Amino acid sequence: MCEKWIDLTGLNEHELPSLSFVLVKGYPRAWQEFWEPIYSLSRNFGVDVNTALEAFKLVYECVSKQEEGRPLSTGFLIGDTEKLRHRLPDFVGMQLQKRSIFDSAKTVSSLFGLIDGYTSAFIVGKDGTLEDARLMPAAPSEPNESSLAYVEFHGYCNALAGVPGYGLVALGPMKTAKLFHDGRLRSEVYFSGKVGEWVHRSLDEVKQKLDQIALEKGIAQEVLYKIFTTAISMSNHRKGGTIIVGDHDQVLKQSEAPRLRLHEINVLKLEGRQERHLFNLATQEFALIVSRDGEPKASSVRLMARVPDTVKPEVGVADGGRHRSAAEMSAATNSVAMVVSDDGPITVYSRGKRVLRV
């Protein structure tokens, strides 16, 4: 798809960014966009660009190949190996020969699924040396909600917090790849069955928009981060759903009687494996209603918003009833609505307008 070895000698700072596109011009556009932050981080941390490119290629092959049997997953931690090994002291129980990732590519590919990206990852040095593979740590008792990482991947946030390096995760069953850096999820690419192509989303841009919405709506930032993190997990698993956050009294007044009323729980207290409970509530039929402080109030709520005549909800011709009802409720109340489509995209509505679609 592109050459493995690229001679960077003699290139000045202005020529290097243009080279980035040349390296991955044979990949789908979304993967070219996914490569940009990887390339930038590699330059910042002194990671050999060919090493980054080889790991990128292996991740792409793992996610995109249609192998017989179940799809496989894997993970890479690339950067300061001494610090990474300190963060990940537990071995996977196998001995890998210490050599370059280029010479080890076939061995690495044969271990996809065993080094699976969920429980374990390969450790690769800045010079391309495959050091070993380590078990990922368990989810922290108090994860940083701004990491935008669901419970399965808190380990990448912990291992990379303050470490010169980054993590690449290939999730074959989800047809998704993720980039982690300095304690949080930075970027991901996934395959949308509806449009039949790969889609890239920058979580840096998402976080900026969430901060703006939180300020406008008086919603705790941590609550929006937690809800959007759940939306990312729903998207990765291709599970659709609607979550309405804020102004819950008015939302419930403009809805049918909920099938399930909730009380005495808060999304911020759902940690570790308990995060799955929020995922389950959000993927029920109709909508999950959450207060601005993070208290789920009702699940399986059918929205029946009374939209003011002066407001026209922003809904596209390809959007279904789930998007329309969410847009209308955000127009009729002081709430924000998040809709996850079954094929992956996440849409956020405020005041009836689509403020984010990734």
pLDDT at 67 over 70: no
pLDDT value for 68: 56
Residue 84 CB-half CA count within 13 A? 30
Whether residues 75 and 171 fall in one domain: yes
Within-domain flag for 260: yes
219 within 8 A of 50, measured Cβ to Cβ? no
**2 located within any domain:** no
Type and span of the H or E element at 244? strand 241-245
CA-CA distance, 1 to 206, in Å (whole number)? 31
**Same-domain status, 85 and 28:** yes
Domain boundary at 170, 192, 214, which? 192
If phi > 0 it is left, if psi is from -120 to 50 it is alpha, else beta; for residue 325 that is alpha
Residue 172 falls inside a structural domain = yes
**pLDDT score, position 308:** 80
Q: In the listed set 143, 169, 192, which residue is the last one of a domain according to the structure?
A: 192
Read off φ and ψ for residue 303, nearest 5 degrees. -80, 135
Beta-strand pair 184-192/165-171: unpaired
User: Among 44-58, 66-80, 167-181, 251-265, whose mean pLDDT is lowest?
Assistant: 66-80
In this structure, the answer to whether residues 139 and 209 fall within a common structural domain is no
Residues 217 and 269 in one domain: yes
Same-domain check for residues 242 and 311: yes
Asked if residue 104 is part of any domain, the answer here is yes
Q: Alpha-carbon distance 358 to 354, whole Å?
A: 11
**3 domain-assigned:** no
Which band of pLDDT confidence, cut at 50, 70 and 90, is reported for residue 196? Answer: confident
Contact 229, 150 (CB under 8 A): yes
146 and 242 belong to one structural domain: no
Copy the structure tokens of residue 345: 């995209």
Residues 122 and 235 in one domain: no
Residue 167 covered by a domain: yes
Distance (Å, whole) CA 49 – CA 40: 10
Looking at residue 271, its pLDDT comes to: 86
Q: How many domains does the chain divide into?
A: 2
> Do 142 and 216 belong to one domain?
no
Q: Are residues 186 and 248 in the same domain?
A: no
CATH code (residue 185) = 3.40.1700.10
pLDDT over 70 at 167, yes or no = yes
Listed range (83-87, 311-315, 353-357) with the worst mean pLDDT: 311-315
How sure is the predictor about 10, in pLDDT bands with cuts at 50, 70 and 90? low
Q: Are residues 175 and 79 in the same domain?
A: yes
Q: Measuring CA to CA, how many Å separate 262 from each of 259, 300, 304?
A: 10, 11, 20
Q: Which two tokens stand for residue 175?
A: 């047809």
Does 1 score more than 50 pLDDT? no
For 244-262, write each residue's pLDDT tens digit.
Answer: 999 999 999 999 999 989 9
Residues 156 and 274 in one domain: no
> How far is it, in rounded angstroms, from Cα 288 to Cα 301?
6
| pLDDT tens, position by position, 114-166 | 999 999 999 999 999 999 999 998 766 677 899 999 988 989 999 999 999 99
* Whether 208 and 180 share a structural domain: no
- Nearest to residue 2, comparing CAs of 18, 20, 14, 15? 20
pLDDT score at 289: 97
pLDDT of residue 264: 87
Three-state DSSP class for residue 202: strand
Domain residues for 67?
A: 15-192
pLDDT tens by residue, 261-276: 998 899 999 888 899 9
Last residue of a domain, one of 133, 165, 192: 192
